[in-house]
Structure 1
């Protein structure tokens, strides 16, 4: 038999045993023998007894940081630009 320990409405721990173990009364175990797709972290609805996969949002893309060489090149361009403006009296 296959069981899922439910903690905070999620399948916290999935394990196999010959029979349902006797744990403390506050530990909730659900028989998932006939639900082979259930995985740890899935949501559990205690009213319906159904498991659903968690909705994990896509990560927010992070723009890559400029390299040291790119920052130095940009500083050089900015410096040359300021010198040129100064030479023109702007």
Structure 2
């Protein structure tokens, strides 16, 4: 039994085993990987060098922590006090 990989856009899309490659419309999209261990779906394939590499996951974007309810209430109080003080200084009623 042989092991085949379907390569689409330089990426291993599908791996399967068969005695021979079935008559697919694009046989050039398939590669015999019999005896080559460690290749998985999602791996990248360089056709020029014939090398498979594991994809590199991007670093997650850090998420800024949301303020707590107490922090939001404190900020609202400060903003209110600022506006009241400003209004009093400018002669507002």
The alignment covers a number of residue pairs equal to 89
Aligned to 2:25: 24
Q: Does 1:75 align with 2:76?
A: yes
Kindly state the Cα deviation for residue 53 of structure 1 after the two structures are TM-superposed.
1.4
After superposition, the Cα gap between the structure-2 partners of 1:26 and 1:67, relative to the gap in structure 1 and judged at 3 Å, is farther
Aligned to 2:67: 66
Kindly state the Cα deviation for residue 67 of structure 1 after the two structures are TM-superposed.
4.8
Kindly state the Cα deviation for residue 78 of structure 1 after the two structures are TM-superposed.
1.6
Alignment of 1:5-44 (within 5 A): 5-25=6-26, 27-44=28-45
Q: Which entry has the higher C-alpha Rg, 1 or 2?
A: 2
Flag structure 1 segments of 5+ consecutive residues without an equivalent. none
Query: Using the alignment, how far apart are the partners of 1:78 and 1:28 within structure 2?
Result: 64
3-state SS, counterpart of residue 24 of structure 1: coil
CA RMSD of aligned residues (A): 2.5
